[in-house]
Structure 1
Amino acid sequence: MEDGIMGCKYFPTSRVQRLNCLAGRDEEIETLAANIKSKTWTALTGSKFTGKTLLVKSVAEYLRKTEGYVTLYVDVKTAGNFERLVETAYRKAPMTVKRRMELFLFRKSLDVTNRSSFKAQETLPPQILFWKLLTTLPEQSVVVLDNVHVLGRETALLTGVLWDALNEKGSRKHLPGLIVTGPTPQAVLHFLNPSEIGWGSVDISKGTHFVGREFGHVHLAPWSDEFSRRYLYEGLAECGVSPSMREVAHVAEVSGGLPAVLSFYGRFRCRGYPRDRILSMIDGRLFSQVRREIRDIIKERFPKKNTSLFKALSLYARGVSIREASHRTGVSRQTVYEMLRTLIEWGYLNEGYGFVSPAYARAVMKLR
């Protein structure tokens, strides 16, 4: 198989892999590694289950082992807001960095409870803490902010800190590499589309002008049907399973080219689980995550119409037209379109209102 995967475990369970074992991602690996080393801050985008976190962690680990890079990884979705993001980043920072920061914290009258956490006084906002962390980390380091789109309006706090750090150091070459991730380019627009008033079309941070300092962009798309079939067939053959071409074709179709879904199927098939049971597990463990996230998105955006919109989206996933889905549920077509545009921003639909992966359509058919 291409991409140098021979000799690797096909269906990995680890959250970090050797780079030659990341199937189908040679170009993205090369670009991401080069951007980190050149200090080209980068937005990594891709829909759910395309492997963003696995890719960025694996590249960072490779650079740690080969060139001594320091990695600071924060899942913004888990943190929940900017203040918790800063707390998590500080907790994960190397001890040498914390020691250097403790003097700064003391001078700024911070209550440093221990070397793994901090409690900032009201006079010193978390923006200053994060700015100091960025400017204290060694140049040969990379900060990864996974799911950065979750910050929403608090993105302004982050961009303001980045701007101040650039002004302090003069250029990115004296700062850590930076990777932010999100489901779509629209979700990280403020990093990819600089304007004279800031990042994106909205002035989210007054005085933040990043024209000429825009981020690089790496996008992960689902695998092609052909690549999915080859990966699954060769991986199963390697563990002693002889799948029929019909099984391979069906699973590739169900997965919609999502690497995480194919790996999940392969792992359990290699353990001797029957096909139908694994497909049921995929729906219960993976596709349920899609339904839960979409349900939360719709509830937050359309609190008074979410139940009807769940039904409309389920109908739409089954091939019912927007007009008919609107008619059956009593929701206006305008509202249905607004819901679909929201899901475009979250990476579930493309600009043509089609599902990015057939797997997402399969998942939301059961949305209630």
Structure 2
Amino acid sequence: MAICKLFDPYPKDSRENFFDEEEIISEVEKLLSGKFWPLILGPKRMGKTSILKIVVKELGGIYIDASSIRSIKELGNSILENSVTKFQLDLKIFKVEIEKKPVSTIRSILNKLGNTILAIDEVQNITSPWLISLLSTAYNESEVRFAFTGSMIGLSRALLGSSKGKKLSTQFKGRPIVRIEISPFNEEMSRKFLDFGRQSCGVKMSDDEIVDAVKTYRGIVGWLTYYGNFRSLGYSHEKAKEMVNQIAENLIKDEIKTLGKIEKAIIKALSLVDNAKWSDLKTITESIYRSSIKDWSFNHALEQLILSRIVSKNKEEKEYSLTDPMYKLAKSLTEF
């Protein structure tokens, strides 16, 4: 049985199979043509990787998956391995040089790439303090144009000049970084997504089932895609939801491993209520944490979750909620 391309869970690399993000793709390409460097921000599973891959394919650039890259050497090797064939670089020589002098060697590689696009996915994972300096030099000395995706933490903040206490972040202020925010689908768009897949792929889904799926996944495209994929394979509504839950539980378990105890307690608190004002959220969090929490510690943890796009803040109502409702499934949130 052929997979419905719209519901294919792997990242897309063509507009044809990518739902309703034409405007953002075109905006990214327009910015790159004007020598601006787009930074695409948003929650996980919202199609940021697909946007980068489509842009790279259409404009002939280089895609770098930085989800497991931490050091400047790892980044250099990834750039080298993804560009060696296209630009006829000597792999052995440059690998040796990256080990000895990573920063200057990457600068040399970038100069050889000429007027090309280097798209770095999940840039916030790169913890090396040298990358900001490297990018600043690249802007002044090379023709390479960069595009990034990430969450608003770590290097992503430094790129926008909003990182505190890091002298290197000031080197990038005034550089041509343009922020593009990706948000979850609203209910109407979620319904259109599932309905379009139902019609174009002949998937048997009732209107009531679509409404239930829309309410369950609250506009997170990744979960809607998994659900649609299971339905296209012939699974029932309830079985498809059960299988999506299994996937979500495993993925989110890994994602929250690096979070602190207060951050986990906040997520647990928000899994018990749909929305909460600051004072109520702090009270519930302290009950889960089984200890009082100083305001500054609580605010810091909450801010990190907001910057990571795990928690959303409604500025008008002054309420907080989980951006991705599937975070409620994480069993490790009970470990305090």
| TM-score bucket (shorter structure) | 0.7 to 0.9
Alignment partner, residue 3 of structure 1 = none
Shift, 1:248, TM fit: 0.8
Match runs of 1:205-224 below 5 Å? 205=168, 209-224=171-186
Match runs of 1:164-203 below 5 Å? 164-169=137-142, 175-184=143-152, 188-193=156-161, 200-203=163-166
Alignment partner, residue 42 of structure 1 = 38
Q: CA RMSD in A?
A: 2.7
1:314 to 268, 273, 287: 268
Structure 2 length normalisation: TM-score?
A: 0.84
Shift, 1:211, TM fit: 4.0
Shift, 1:127, TM fit: 0.9
Alignment partner, residue 80 of structure 2 = 90
1:54 to 13, 37, 50: 50
Shift, 1:120, TM fit: 3.4
2:248 to 278, 286, 289: 286
Alignment gaps of 5+ in structure 2:
274-279
User: CA–CA distance in 1 between the matches of 2:175 and 2:238?
Assistant: 51
Match runs of 1:188-267 below 5 Å? 188-193=156-161, 200-205=163-168, 209-267=171-229
Alignment gaps of 5+ in structure 1:
1-7, 64-68, 103-111, 170-174, 194-198, 299-305
User: CA–CA distance in 1 between the matches of 2:175 and 2:13?
Assistant: 31
Change (3 A) 1:309 1:332: farther
User: CA–CA distance in 1 between the matches of 2:13 and 2:269?
Assistant: 39
| Kept after mapping to 2: 8 A contact 1:309/1:331 | no
User: CA–CA distance in 1 between the matches of 2:44 and 2:84?
Assistant: 30
2:181 match: secondary structure = strand
Matched, 1:362 2:328: yes
Match runs of 1:113-124 below 5 Å? 114=92, 118-120=95-97, 124=100
> What amino acid sits opposite 2:35 in the alignment?
K
| Kept after mapping to 1: 8 A contact 2:266/2:302 | no
1:150 to 85, 100, 125: 125
User: CA–CA distance in 2 between the matches of 1:31 and 1:121?
Assistant: 34
User: CA–CA distance in 2 between the matches of 1:312 and 1:96?
Assistant: 47
Q: How many residues get paired? A: 319
Shift, 1:23, TM fit: 1.4
| Kept after mapping to 1: 8 A contact 2:14/2:54 | yes
Change (3 A) 1:325 1:143: same
Change (3 A) 1:264 1:134: same
User: CA–CA distance in 1 between the matches of 2:194 and 2:36?
Assistant: 35
Alignment partner, residue 277 of structure 2 = none
Shift, 1:330, TM fit: 1.5
| Kept after mapping to 1: 8 A contact 2:263/2:302 | no
Shift, 1:14, TM fit: 4.5
User: CA–CA distance in 2 between the matches of 1:125 and 1:354?
Assistant: 46
Match runs of 1:300-339 below 5 Å? 306=261, 310-311=264-265, 313-319=267-273, 321-334=281-294, 335-339=297-301
Shift, 1:328, TM fit: 4.3
Identity %: 20
Shift, 1:158, TM fit: 1.1
| Kept after mapping to 1: 8 A contact 2:248/2:326 | no
Alignment partner, residue 80 of structure 1 = 70
2:68 match: secondary structure = helix
Change (3 A) 1:121 1:212: closer
| Kept after mapping to 2: 8 A contact 1:316/1:322 | no
Shift, 1:189, TM fit: 1.7
Shift, 1:235, TM fit: 1.1
Change (3 A) 1:237 1:190: same
> What amino acid sits opposite 1:355 in the alignment?
S
| Kept after mapping to 1: 8 A contact 2:286/2:293 | yes
| Kept after mapping to 2: 8 A contact 1:187/1:346 | no
User: CA–CA distance in 2 between the matches of 1:41 and 1:163?
Assistant: 12
| Kept after mapping to 2: 8 A contact 1:295/1:310 | no
Change (3 A) 1:216 1:321: closer
User: CA–CA distance in 1 between the matches of 2:327 and 2:95?
Assistant: 44
Change (3 A) 1:214 1:178: same
2:117 match: secondary structure = strand
| Kept after mapping to 2: 8 A contact 1:41/1:179 | yes
2:148 match: secondary structure = strand
Alignment partner, residue 5 of structure 1 = none
2:259 to 279, 297, 300: 297
2:256 match: secondary structure = helix
User: CA–CA distance in 1 between the matches of 2:292 and 2:106?
Assistant: 45
Change (3 A) 1:327 1:297: closer
1:54 match: secondary structure = helix
